[in-house]
Amino acid sequence: MAVARSTSPQGPLSSRRPAELPPTAWAVLGLLSFPGERTGYELKKWADASLRHFYWSPAISQIYAELRRLEALGYATSRRSGPEEPRAKRSYAITAEGRAALIGWAGGAGDAGPAVLKHPLLLRVWLGHLAAPEHLRALVAEHIAHTRGELKEVHDALAAADGEAAWTHPQIALRWSGRRLEAEIELAEAMLVDLTEMGASAPLGQPPEDSPTQG
């Protein structure tokens, strides 16, 4: 049994300029730009397998919030499954207006913005004068093992995408992610050497006498 798709309450968008959206909304719309339609759960799984390695994987609640926003704008449409399905679910697809807006955003002029790095382990190391040296080394070793696991996931995702013409550009992004993770492992191993060589030279609980930077 076919179920009619929902339509935007705002009508056609051909006469309106593309909406100003946060990056997460564009990322969700970008997931919908590939062939097929997907549920919010499927979008979350794909974000975990791809987006999180180079950008960020939104929570499932954020994905559904962005889907509602995109649907209200007319950038996405959805349909509920029919009674033949054991469990009702809602699938989403991009609209022509949504694809046009995404093309405009992806090909837009200007700086894409700086990369933002928030490294929790480095924050711990920065506060290393408050931690036991062996604890810091254990944290770094754990980080190396975790990063190697992420690198395997990238390689698995690349293998799954191999030969899929529609995933050519995601494969480029994943290959970059693999090289970044390899560099992260190398950097962490060098930091582990630094911490080992430092040993117990700095007394625990004693902060530096002065800031290493001016100000």
Q: Which DSSP string corresponds to 78-103? A: EEE--TTSSS--EEEEE-HHHHHHHH
pLDDT at res. 113: 75
Q: Taking residues 105-121, what's their average pLDDT?
A: 82
The CA distance from 193 to 185, in Å, is 12
Q: Taking residues 134-144, what's their average pLDDT?
A: 96
Beta pairing, strands 90-94 & 76-80: antiparallel
Q: Taking residues 188-196, what's their average pLDDT?
A: 95
pLDDT at res. 167: 80
pLDDT at res. 13: 43
Q: Which of 32, 27, 33 is nearest to 42 (CA)?
A: 32
pLDDT at res. 144: 98
Taking the mean position of all CA atoms in its chain, how far away is CA 171?
15
The CA distance from 43 to 66, in Å, is 11
Q: Taking residues 190-197, what's their average pLDDT?
A: 94
The sign of the CA dihedral 16, 43, 169, 154 is: positive
User: Under 8 Å CB-to-CB from 198, ≥6 apart: which residues?
Assistant: 133
Structure tokens at 68: 């509602």
Residue 4 carries which DSSP code? P
Q: Taking residues 29-54, what's their average pLDDT?
A: 90
